Amino acid sequence: MSQLIDSFDRHVRYLRLSVTDRCNLRCTYCMAEDMVFLPKAKVLSLEELALIAKAFVELGVEKIRLTGGEPLVRQGIIELARQIHQIDGLRELVMTTNGVLLDKFSSPLVDAGVSRINVSIDSLRADRFKRLTRFGDLEDVLRGIEAARQAAFKKIKINAVILRGINDDEVIDLTRFAVQNELDISFIEEMPLGEISSHSRSGTQMNSEQIHEMLEREFSIIESSYHDPAAGPSRYQQIAGTETKIGFISPMSNNFCASCNRVRLTVEGRLLLCLGNEHSLDLREIVRAHPGDLDKLKQAITASMVRKPERHHFDPDDITITRYMSATGG
Ligand code: SAM
Ligand code: SF4
């Protein structure tokens, strides 16, 4: 039972834990071209991250997602995953990754207790993939996905951000790729987090309904009975005759805040109570002022719940949130 209940009677059971703001890619919708990364002194240590994770689990959080930035570039990530997995009461440890390093890390991740992974891939065309990620090599990700399939993850899901005029012609190909490789797939609407110069966010907006229509023209789509109690916003459907579930994450077109069950911790220790607002609490200050003190952390986290706002208000023409997704813990 979660002790983390906000003013709107939402129970927080899910923590997205950012383990780095750095990345080995520079996706154009996620980061600006010239990013300034955090100095080491501002970044939570592995011990601090593990302690904060423990505080959340003791308060009733059941699921933790390791994310970033790119979580697999953080030194010591496997050891951190192992430590978090061993916390009593945690039901599920999962990760979101760009897949570039999965060739090397899939088996160690499974051994450390990561049960499911999401792999972000927005294009299956090498030249376009390079453009979208500014220098990424599609082959690395494909090799990584294959390695993940060979490892014993319970589930692998593709995440694709679809941008009008940039990769919207790949919705069907990406879905076929998921079916052929027995993966799930979620389509994500681009959110206006941080100023970017590569494209106009309002010009590239694609909503989930439009993607759904494209899919319906090509596949027979049925409602999935699958329900992930800890998942929150994603609603699932299934391609008939396959195991592939399709999810739509629609922060722009379909406000799902009423069922929000999550909070995020940035790697500088900022507890973000909502992705689309700046309401937050500095946990780094607390963990450094009272090293090893779980009770202090738990008290502060519990008290912060009243600050969780009712909902986000995103406008692609008006970038009010200057923090990039890579620094947020997507
Ligand atoms: N580097 C890892 C990855 O790419 O999977 C984990 C961090 S990344 C910030 C997490 C997810 O956020 C990815 O699926 C990415 O596509 C998505 N994302 C990044 N910027 C976004 C934006 N502005 N709007 C919507 N999704 C975004
Ligand atoms: Fe890196 Fe992930 Fe952001 Fe791409 S979406 S730049 S892989 S953090």
Q: Name the residue of 67, 96, 120, 188 whose CB sits within 8 Å of the most ligand 2 atoms, as the mutation to test its pocket.
A: 120
Q: Supply 54's token pair.
A: 């423990």
CA of 244 to the centre of ligand 1 (A): 21
Does ligand 1 come within 6 angstroms of the Cβ of 29?
Answer: yes
Summarised one tens digit per residue, pLDDT across range 152-179 is 899 999 999 999 999 999 999 999 999 9
Q: What is the average pLDDT across 50-55?
A: 98
pLDDT, position 274: 82
Atom of ligand 1 nearest to the CA of 328: 9
What single-letter amino acid sits at 277? N
Cα–Cα distance for residue pair 195/329, rounded to 1 Å: 17
Q: What is the DSSP string of 22-80?
A: --S---TTTS-SS--PPPGGGSPPHHHHHHHHHHHHHTT--EEEEESS-GGGSTTHHHH
| Averaged pLDDT score across all residues of the chain | 92
Cα–Cα distance for residue pair 58/127, rounded to 1 Å: 46
Q: Is the pLDDT of residue 7 over 60?
A: yes
What single-letter amino acid sits at 184? D
- Strand locations in the chain (E): 14-18, 63-67, 92-97, 116-120, 155-161, 184-188, 221-223, 235-239, 245-249, 262-265, 270-272, 280-282
Name the closest ligand to CA 117.
Answer: 1
pTM of the model: 0.95
CA 110, distance to chain mean position in Å, is 18
CA of 30 to the centre of ligand 2 (A): 6
pLDDT, position 235: 63
pLDDT, position 224: 84
Domains of the chain: 14-328 (3.20.20.70)
pLDDT, position 260: 85
Summarised one tens digit per residue, pLDDT across range 11-31 is 999 999 999 999 999 999 999
